[in-house]
Amino acid sequence: MDTFGITVFFIVLVTVVAAFIRRVKRDKCLKDFEHDMVTLEQVSGKTAWGKLNVENTGLELVYTDKHSDADGHDETSYVLYKGEFGNIQALVRYHDELSEANKKERDRELEMTYHPSLPRRLKRRILNVFKTIRDSIVEVINILISQAKKATPAGTVLTSQDKYVSQMKQELMGAAGTSYEPLLEKYIGRKVVLEIIKGDRVLECCGVLKEYTAEFVEIMDVAYRLKTDEETRMADLIVPRKFGIVRHLGE
């Protein structure tokens, strides 16, 4: 193959790899609520309610019924882009709004979280080891690529396509970008007290810590209400980590 053909091949390869990774790389906490009826509570106090769809670029709430706004426009969904995630106060999944099928799935997930099986615990430990040594793995890959450039017939090709090789490597390693927090990790599957900052107030919610990522923390079986004059209802919450702090072990 000539240089032009090789360049085209690498461009196509990098584009396909990047598109695949971006498609599957969605926040783990947000994915747990996907296809459930969810209330989006924003910092401004504005709320939206619908069936949650999650993409790597943002989230969408699909309304059950058409809604007309103050200007008379018919709306059937609400979209929040990733750049607007800073506006999220919480995502609330009330238990009494779930379908029977979704309730069973949620109960099964809670049981697996609260009483994880050996394979589940082992899988999580392996993933955490990978996250911990990710920087070392990057260095190993750099060394292997450097050696391949020197000692293999493909070395000339790799050298000439350095830009695309580096880009693909960054995409692949970026897929493992979930935050690892040792303090939170040992509380997974246990009851904790979560402090939620709401303006000048701090609320305390007790529930089971399900998951955390670099941006969010997920807690299950919480008595919650959006406003102080409402009755509390059992719910699962996803709260941005800048507003939600796991403060105490609750058991």
Per-residue model confidence as pLDDT tens digits over 89-144: 999 999 999 999 999 999 999 999 888 888 888 888 887 777 777 656 666 666 66
Q: Are 89 and 205 in contact (CB under 8 A)?
A: no
pLDDT of residue 228: 86
**Which of 31-35, 62-66, 111-115 is least confident?**
111-115
Q: Which residue has the higher pLDDT, 157 or 31?
A: 31
Q: What is the pLDDT of residues 190-234, one digit of tens each?
A: 999 999 999 899 999 999 999 999 899 999 999 999 988 899 999
Q: Which residue has the higher pLDDT, 126 or 188?
A: 188
CA atoms within 13 A on the CB side of 194: 34
pLDDT of residue 195: 97
Amino acid at 167: Q
How many residues does this entry show for the chain? Answer: 251
- Give residue for tokens 């990710």: 134
Burial of 173 (0-12, 13-18, 19+ CB in 10 A): middle
Nearest Cα neighbor of 171 from 141, 150, 147 is: 141
pLDDT of residue 53: 96
pLDDT of residue 182: 87
pLDDT of residue 21: 63
Mean pLDDT across the stretch 25-52?
Answer: 94
